[in-house]
Amino acid sequence: MANLNIDSEKERTYDAIVIGSGISGGWSAKELSERGLKTLVLERGRDVQHVKDYPTTNMYPWEFEHRGEMPYAVQQENPIVNRCYAFHEDAAHFFVKDKEHPYVQEKPFDWIRGYQVGGKSLLWARQTQRWSDFDFEGPLRDGFAVDWPIRYADLKPWYDYVERFAGIAGDRDGLPELPDGEFLPSYPLNVVEKYFKQKIEAKYPARKVISARCAHISKPEPIHIQQGRTQCQSRTLCQRGCPFGGYFSSNASTLPWAAKTGNMTLRPDSVVHSILYDEQKGRAIGVKVIDRNTKEEMDFYAKLIFVNAAAINTNLILLNSRSNRFPNGLGNDSETLGKYVAFHNYSARMYAEYEGLLDFKTDGRNPAGGGYIPRFRNLHKQETDYLRGYAAGFGAYRSANSDRSGLGEDLKNSLLNPKLGNWGVSSHMMGETIPKASNYVALDTKQQDDWGVPLLKIAIDYDDNDAKMKKDYLDTLEEMFVEAGFTNIRRDDRWQAPGLDIHEMGGARMGNDPKTSVLNKWNQMHTVPNVFVTDGASMTSTSTQNPSLTYMAFSARSVDYAIKEMKKGNI
């Protein structure tokens, strides 16, 4: 007979469980605990406490053993994560190393992960743009993927809500393709970025160059001070963790806020294996967890479950939640779970020089990173031979160089008197890829990880649409650079493996029709009403904008809905 410990089961029962403590999980945790629900947050990685666990945050460059670079042996051991631009000595401890968590690449896929309390919110580049109706209406208009079950108006109040709390710096630019938000003061463009803006907007009125919008407290409001955060000091050392709470992270913002309510229990080192489904009740009843260190297996129970493990891991958990009712993964009646995964295409860049405005230089650092060119292709009508479009980053900088030739006093003098060169300018593409059934993730039937979870197989690739879009980006930016009088223009046309753009989405998409989607318009499973997915797995299509602000808005909106439904007795 089973040895039932009734008290222990009670101790492991909460009102709500959140899986994952990153950007979306932090928001789910905050909203649930603030609304009075006893909430358990399960995080597979170690604890990372704000300030205390940022070991490199105040280090000088010369204090790093390898001056910030990763040693060659570590680079060789970690070919995947080493390709991420932020994998350096100062922040390497926040990245998953290749050997620690293997996966099966049916096609090359650079899966960049942060497994710790706070997830990738500690590492992100903090670019935050709202999506617009051009994005939410896109699939219906262009005939790709399925129609989104929501429009911008459904999300607008929730964008307002999360922006005020998170702190987003930006300008009100009045562009329908990039709706304005509840902004703190923006970080202004520098003189060459402004020059490019004037040149481009004069010649091509539909193309705009605006200040990048970012999750930094440029000027704190009382709500930020109440969180214990303060003004961003523009150190641009953010990926180390910021002791000022100058940028938004779960660790500085949503998690401590949730903890203050007294309703949140955070359990790090808890690898969620699967969601438990009760056939009689027709609902999920809890989750199975494997302790990361002891490998002990335990179940936790709750009326409400929010899955926020980041897009691909959320797919893994759902696919691994198998029962008689759902033999192919929880809520997977449509057989679409794990499919229609899409991503952003960041695989092209442009570089050039500008020989003008040499009376100016930059002073200080811009945490927003410079300018942003919102998507201008195929907005009002289909005008190219590819679907959808791209946004682009744009930045200008002026670097100082020392002449290192010579010897003795001459060398010393030239090292001590660096000369300013021309302005360097650069741009990178941020393209939308089209969700397709052939881009999928699935469970490997033979191999398991150290916690008994099947390894994930990833089969995701570019297509012809991406190739045409990339060529258009390179041709168009080159034309714009020529128009601005830039010289020494270089096209950087690479095909980095998907994944490196770190914006993977889909697999458990939202939709109106349960036959072709997993979630309804509230991020709620069509067939398991007490399970909500509010991270990137829920995205029906990808837009060109950065995604994380939208995950925040979805999380807050879904919790609000779920609590109202619970009160009505529907959940």
Ligand X SMILES: Cc1cc2nc3c(=O)[nH]c(=O)nc-3n(C[C@H](O)[C@H](O)[C@H](O)COP(=O)(O)OP(=O)(O)OC[C@H]3O[C@@H](n4cnc5c(N)ncnc54)[C@H](O)[C@@H]3O)c2cc1C
Residues of the shown chain interacting with ligand SF4 in the complex, contacts defined by CB under 6 A:
216, 232-238, 242, 244, 246-247, 367
The count of residues in the chain is 571
User: What's the number of CA atoms in the CB half-sphere (13 Å) around residue 106?
Assistant: 14
From the list ligand X, ligand SF4, none, partner contacted by residue 236 (C-beta under 5 to 8 A by kind): ligand SF4
| The only residue of 16, 17, 18, 23 in contact with ligand X, by rule CB under 6 A | 23
Residue 21 in the binding site for ligand X (CB under 6 A): yes
Strand ranges inside 218-334, DSSP E: 264-267, 270-278, 283-291, 297-307
Q: Of 87 and 486, which CB lies nearer to ligand X in the complex structure?
A: 87
Nearest approach in angstroms of CB 398 to ligand SF4 is 20
Q: Which span sits near ligand X by CB under 6 A: 149-157, 307-315, 381-389, 407-415?
A: 307-315
Does residue 546 touch ligand X according to CB under 6 A? yes
Stretch of residues binding ligand X (CB under 6 A), selected from 18-26, 155-163, 182-190, 510-518? 18-26
251 CB contacts (<8 Å, ≥6 apart)? 48, 49, 50, 117, 118, 121, 122, 241
Give yes or no for a contact between 545 and 153, defined as CB atoms under 8 angstroms apart: no
400 CB-contact burial (10 Å; exposed 0-12 / middle 13-18 / buried 19+): exposed
Asked if residue 376 lies in contact with residue 132, where contact means CB atoms within 8 angstroms, the answer is no
* Residue of the chain from 54, 109, 111, 124 that contacts ligand X (CB under 6 A): 124
Q: How far is the CB of 187 from ligand SF4 (least distance, A)?
A: 10
**DSSP assignment of 359-399, as one string?**
T----S--TT-SEEE---TTSSS--SSSSS-EEEEEEEEEE
Closest to 117 (Cα-Cα) out of 252, 293, 239, 279? 252
Instruction: Write out the H or E segment, with its range, that includes residue 429.
Output: strand 419-432
If binding is defined by CB under 6 A, does position 158 make contact with ligand X? no
Minimum CB separation from ligand X for residue 391, in Å?
12
Tell me the closest approach of the beta carbon of residue 247 to ligand SF4, in angstroms. 4
Nearest distance from residue 526's CB to ligand X, in Å?
21
242 makes contact, choosing from ligand X, ligand SF4, none, with CB < 5 to 8 Å by partner type, with ligand SF4
Structural contact between residues 224 and 235, judged by C-beta atoms closer than 8 angstroms: no
Tokens of 548: 């994380």
> Going by C-beta distance under 8 Å and a sequence separation of 6 or more, which residues neighbour residue 530?
283, 284, 303, 304, 305, 562, 571
Judged by CB, which is closer to ligand X: 466, or 535? Answer: 535
Cβ 124 to ligand SF4, closest distance in Å? Answer: 11
* Contact track, ligand X, 500-539, x by CB under 6 A: --xx-------------------------------xx---
Regarding 149 and contact with ligand X (CB under 6 A), the answer is no
Q: By CB under 6 A, tell whether 120 contacts ligand X.
A: yes
Q: Quick count: other Cβ atoms within 10 Å of Cβ 176?
A: 13
Q: Is 86 in the site for ligand X (CB under 6 A)?
A: yes
Alpha-carbon distance of 556 to 542, in angstroms, equals 20
Kindly list the residues in this chain that would bind ligand X in the complex (CB under 6 A): 19-25, 42-45, 84, 86, 112, 114-116, 119-121, 123-127, 270-272, 308-310, 313, 317, 502-503, 535-536, 546-548, 551
